Amino acid sequence: MTDYLKPQPAPAPSAATPTWEYVVQDCQDMVHVDGSSVWHLLAEDGASRDAFGAAKYGTRHQHDNGRDHAVDAYQEAMDGAMYWRAEHLRTRRASALVIYRQALQLAHDIRAYLLERDGR
């Protein structure tokens, strides 16, 4: 197992603006770019994830919380690819296969980023 798959320390609270506030605002801003109502749903879901994370970890997500966010993203991307592969196997929907391939590419790109950043 690489270091990138090992558990990280619990997040430490700081004075920084919670990261979800930026993400929710970015989703709300995207409505004005393409008009998709899905952006509103993402914003609502982001606010819910923020509350869930605060309850689970005792603090909201902040960029300076002591964790390696690229490693967190890599682990989540790997899991996401696996979930989309399972969804495609279960449903055989072409759209699930497309999303699986996008998720796998995202995991690839994050791993390439880690290789470039850390040299391993």
The per-residue pLDDT for 42 is 97
- pLDDT at position 2, please? 84
Q: What is the pLDDT of residues 87-96, one digit of tens each?
A: 999 999 999 9
Per-residue pLDDT of 27-40, as tens digits, reads: 999 999 999 999 99
C-alpha to C-alpha distance for 29 and 59, rounded to whole angstroms: 26
For the four alpha carbons of 5, 78, 110 and 21, in that order, the dihedral sign comes to: negative
Q: Give pTM, 2 decimals.
A: 0.92
Map out the domains of the chain as residue ranges: 15-66, 68-120
Does residue 112 have a pLDDT over 80? yes
Please report, for residues 23, 25, 70, 99, the alpha-carbon distance to residue 30 in angstroms, rounded to integers and kept in the order given.
11, 9, 24, 20
Amino acid at 12: A
